[in-house]
Structure 1
Amino acid sequence: MARIRLSALSPAASGVVGFSLGAAAILLLPGNLANALGLLSAGLGLAGATALSRRNAAREREQLLAAIGEVKVRLATNAIRVDSMAKRLDQMPMGEADAAPAKAMLHELTAEVGLLGDLLQQVATTLGEHDDQLSRIEGRLANPPPQPARIAALVPERVEPHAPEPLIATRHDPAEAAQRRAAEERAALISEALAKGQVEVHLQPIVSLPQRRTRGYEALVRLRLDEKTLLLPSEFLTTVEERGFGPTLDALVLTRALAIARHLGSKPGELFVSCNFSAATWGSSRALAALSRILEKYHDHIGNLVIEVPQRVFRVLEPASLGLLGAMSANGVRFALDHVADLRFDPVSLHDRGVRFVKVSAALLLAEARGGKLADIAAGDIAVQLARGSIQLVAEEVEDDPMVADMLDLGIAFGQGIVFSPPRPVRPEVFAEPQPAEAAQAPKPATAMAPPASAEVVEHPAMAPPPAVKRVPFRDILRRATA
């Protein structure tokens, strides 16, 4: 006979057994002893049902956590397999046009695997927090805090210790309250301007050295509060990120940058425009996925777009975000590394991730040239090292002509700064939607040449159609000339 496991029983079984034994004791035994034994059996049955239900819940929770861990292990294994497939694809003798769709699909798979891993991590974290809260509640119920003795009635009501402190507090409260109200009003104005889409983009050119010919532009965001107030990023970005409007601002800036890219695509010279994203967007794979969907809608213009990524953010990107960046790069988006604080680069790795520009402050390059320790090679060789990986070094924040001469001595071919041009607003017609080609080529109706509906005018000799011109082949003309 198979052994019965108590843990396999349903919690209701214990309660049913307890009540059954209690009823049997009441019916069979006489007097008060029967009632006592019946109540005891029923209580033991309820206690056993509660214990079994708790044990089953704990076992199911452990099984759920184990399943989540197993799924995470499988996701990690699949991510490794996808990475190996990408490496094999790079080694295959295929053209860039043939390999681009496969690379985009692999990057999308990597991003999906990363998103699933994030969701599983959130589920596990939520379950852990739920268990902690339950344990705290049970601990409070088991050990209630001691209630203070009611001796308040013994203290006279008219005795108020520390009387001078409220007077001192009231002296400082108005100034702090006024500052708090001003900050809240300013934050409300910023939020309202952002909700209305009052975002302006100013462009600062990126030029080639030494010719100073414009090669591209950087889109710098401004926020318009009213006709006389235009805020710089340092004045509103903190409020925007604290209120969670960073992805909204980035979507507005990206849409305007794509409109500028569309305008630059119609001009010769392969000009480009670069834009930045907020820290909240780089830290959220969902926000990056939303921006990648915007890029898919404007796929024809992303060849003239460059997205700037801070170096500290680029080095700590999660697998999901790296997969999304890889998908963007496979679709034609180029990236630029900015806010550089470490001059040690791996050009091959940067190029594989879609980086085509590295923007370094001119002051940092000069400090490195004068004996800094931020690079393993000489400052004059950094541009050559990056150029071997098809990456251009851009010296930004160039302030005067002597600094331009120093950049030329370091072999830097691109520059950006106030010495070339300050940021300037974009003309409104750049953001206008282009007219359809059929409407642009349609001839204007010639109403003045329309003849009146009269038979006499139609039969008039002056209105007769001109004689048809007889076309002679060029060979006949040539034959007559040489005859």
Structure 2
Amino acid sequence: MRELLDLSRSGRQAAATLLYLVPSAGLVFGLVHLIGLAPELALLTGLIAAMLGAEAHAAVNRSIERKAVRKELQELTSLAAGLSRDLDDAADKIVELEERIERETEERMERIFSEIRVVEGLVKRLAEARGFAAAAPAPAPAPIEASAPMAQDQATPPTVADSTVPPPKPEKRLEDLNDEELLETIRHSLETNRVDLYLQPVVNLPQRKIMYYEGLSRLRTESGEIILPRDYMRVAEPAGMMPTVDNILLFRCIQVVRKLAQRKSKAGVFCNISAFSLLDEDFFPQFVEYMQHNTDLAQHLIFEFSQATVNGAGPVEQASLDALASLGFRFSMDQVTDLRLNPAALHDRNFRFIKVSADTMLEGTHSAGDIHAADLKELLKRNGIQLIVDKIEQEREVVDVLEFNVGLGQGFLFGEPRPVRDSVLKETPAKAPEMPLAAD
């Protein structure tokens, strides 16, 4: 390359010399004929003038080349500086990525260890509950090592193995069981992990697009018969077993919430918590501690309590609610039968949803301030609370409810509670199917 440049430069210099020979020849002619200078001396003078002109031309070209080279060097220097900055930025991003991966790994391991501790706690709780009588109230449940299960990478809650307690034999139909037999059946269902999460959609009206899900727990007997909450809560609550049921339900709800987050879905999940869990001095503090490390769930997870639980909340229950509210979690009140509400006070306690049945809404005017059902939606809206009309089962009820300008509905008409498919909880985000989450 350098030889080519030298040849190019030499060629330009020779061309410049030839260019200046023409005026030099004129100079020689003038010196000979006008001044009478000897031809040899005039020729020498012309040659010298041609060479001086060529050299001057070459000097000018070299100056131009030096400026061009200097400009290229400046551009290369700027480019090198830019590359250096890019390399520094890349190094910073690599360090940041390593720190984030390390942090996420630690959080993930902490969730896994929390799940392991919870399984141990469930075993201990069920072992303690074994000696309880079905008809008599139970003493305080046995301590749980960590009550917040919810390791997001575990597909299903682990089965609690306990070979010392066989199931009731022969297994009877649920309606034929007495309370003691029903309690033993419930306990065995918990020990053998026959607890399923059912989801029922909450839709917007009138479009009927799924906006939320309500998580409902169902127990299964060994023969596959479903034990509904109205059947198991009657004997499970006095036996101190509801925190265990809530614990498993919460685990499953969080699994669904994480799947929704992976799909970039904005749908939330209502998760019911019983009054017994709010009062459980072992379950609830450790549950709150777990939630402190998982506040990202607050966008999608809404804790739901019955109106009886909310109205009957004492200092302990209220402190439990306050602890969750301080972490940013929202609440919903369901099973509302009395519309004499204080929306402002409920909003201050972080209640953002209230569920009223279609029958209650359509009964008409209610006492205490002459609040009409038609005004309830706007009253709640002014206080930052959304009204959900549930238990909608017929199209004519939808028409009547829409006259109240209700925006959210729930009921068998829009979808029955259906069990969550195991594949939804086990699949990777890349293979996650679209809605619905529940089995057809």
1:344 aligns with 2:340: yes
Q: Does residue 193 of the first structure (1) align with residue 189 of the second (2)?
A: yes
- Structure 2 residue 250 is the aligned partner of structure 1 residue 254: yes
1:380 aligns with 2:374: yes
Q: Secondary structure at the match of 2:354?
A: strand
Looking at structure 2, the residues matched to 434 and 208 of structure 1 have their Cα atoms a distance apart, in angstroms, of 29
1:267 to partner: Cα distance: 3.0
Aligned pairs (5 A) from 1:49-68? none
Letter paired with 1:411: N
Listed one character per residue, the Cα deviations across residues 237-264 of structure 1 (whole Å, up to 9, x for unaligned) are 2221132111111111111111111111
Tell me the equivalent position of 2:300: 304
The AA in structure 1 aligned to 2:270 is S
Matched, 1:408 2:405: no
Deviations 1:317-376 (A, max 9, x none): 222332331221221211001111221222222112110100011100101x2x443663
Q: Residue 323 of structure 1 aligns with which residue?
A: 319
Distance 1:180 1:411 in 2: 46
Mark the CA change 1:372 to 1:324 in structure 2 (over 3 Å): closer, same or farther. closer
Three-state SS of the structure 1 residue aligned to 2:237 is helix
- Normalized per residue, the structure richer in helix is 1
* Partners of 2:339 and 2:366 within 8 A in 1: no
Deviations 1:13-32 (A, max 9, x none): xxxxxxxxxxxxxxxxxxxx
What's the CA shift string for 1:135-183, capped at 9, x where partnerless? xxxxxxxxxxxxxxxxxxxxxxxxxxxxxxxxxxxxxxxxxxxx99854
Contact 1:206 1:414 in 2 (8 A): yes
The structure whose Rg is larger is: 2
Which amino acid in structure 1 is aligned with residue 389 of structure 2? A
The letter of the residue matching 2:291 is: L
For residues 207 and 395 of structure 2, the distance between their equivalents in structure 1, rounded to whole angstroms, comes to: 13
Can you list the C-alpha shifts for 1:387-423, whole angstroms capped at 9, x where unaligned?
1122100001001000001110011110000011111
Q: Indicate which of 248, 259, 279 corresponds to 1:263.
A: 259
Among 407, 417, 429, the residue aligned to 2:411: 417
How far, CA to CA, are the matches of 1:273 and 1:360 in structure 2?
Answer: 18
The TM-score, its normalising length taken from structure 1, stands at 0.50
**Structure 1: unaligned runs, 5 residues or longer:** 1-178, 438-483
Q: Aligned partners of 1:234 and 1:257: how far apart in 2?
A: 20
Q: How far apart are the structure 1 equivalents of 2:281 and 2:314?
A: 8
In structure 1, the partner of 2:388 is 394
1:440-480 CA deviation, whole Å, 9 max, x = no partner?
Answer: xxxxxxxxxxxxxxxxxxxxxxxxxxxxxxxxxxxxxxxxx
Deviation sequence 1:219-246 (CA, Å, 0-9, x none): 1110011253221112222221132111
1:274 paired residue among 262, 270, 274:
270
CA gap 1:380/1:180 in 2 versus in 1, 3 angstroms: closer
The 8 Å contact of residues 288 and 321 in structure 1, kept in 2 or not, is answered as no
Distance 1:239 1:207 in 2: 33
1:258/1:298 contact within 8 Å kept? no
Q: Distance in 2 between matches of 1:314 and 1:180?
A: 34
What SS does the corresponding residue of 1:212 show, helix, strand or coil? coil
Which whole-Å deviations, capped at 9, do the CAs of 1:200-226 have from their partners, x for residues lacking one?
Answer: 011000000000000000011100112
1:183–1:337 distance in 2 versus 1, CA, 3 Å: closer
Amino acid in structure 1 at the alignment position of 2:395: D
**8 Å CA contact retained: 1:210, 1:408:** yes
Corresponding residue SS for 1:339: strand
Aligned to 1:214: 210
- Secondary structure in 2 aligned to 1:205? strand
**1:378 alignment partner AA:** H
**What 5-or-longer segments of structure 2 have no aligned partner?**
1-174, 431-440
SS at match of 2:341: coil
With the length of structure 2 as denominator, give the TM-score of the two structures: 0.54
Q: Corresponding residue for 2:435?
A: none
% identity of equivalent residues: 34
1:184 aligned to 2:180? Answer: yes
Q: Which residue identity does 2:387 align to in structure 1?
A: L
Matched to 1:432, the amino acid is: K
The structure 1 segments of at least 4 consecutive aligned residues displaced by more than 4 Å after TM superposition are 179-183
**Partner Cα separation in structure 2 for residue 180 and residue 203 of structure 1:** 29
Q: Distance in 1 between matches of 2:201 and 2:374?
A: 24
The alpha-carbon distance between structure 1 residues 333 and 434, as it changes in their structure 2 partners (threshold 3 A), is farther
For residues 79-158 of structure 1, the aligned pairs below 5 Å read none
Q: Secondary structure at the match of 2:336?
A: coil
Q: Which amino acid in 2 is paired with 1:407?
A: V
Closer, same or farther: CA 433–319 of 1 in aligned 2, 3 Å: farther
Counterpart contact for 1:334–1:354, Cα < 8 Å: yes
Cα distance in 2 for residues equivalent to 1:190 and 1:356 = 33
> How many pairs were matched up?
257
2:246–2:274 Cα contact (<8 Å) kept:
yes
Letter in 1 for 2:340: R
Aligned to 2:284: 288
1:174 alignment counterpart: none
Partner Cα distance (1:280, 1:397) in 2? 25
Please tell me the residue identity of whatever aligns with 1:365. M
The answer to whether the 8 A contact 2:278-2:320 is kept is no
Name the CA distance, whole Å, in 2 between partners of 1:373 and 1:364: 13
Contact preservation (8 Å) 2:303, 2:330 = yes
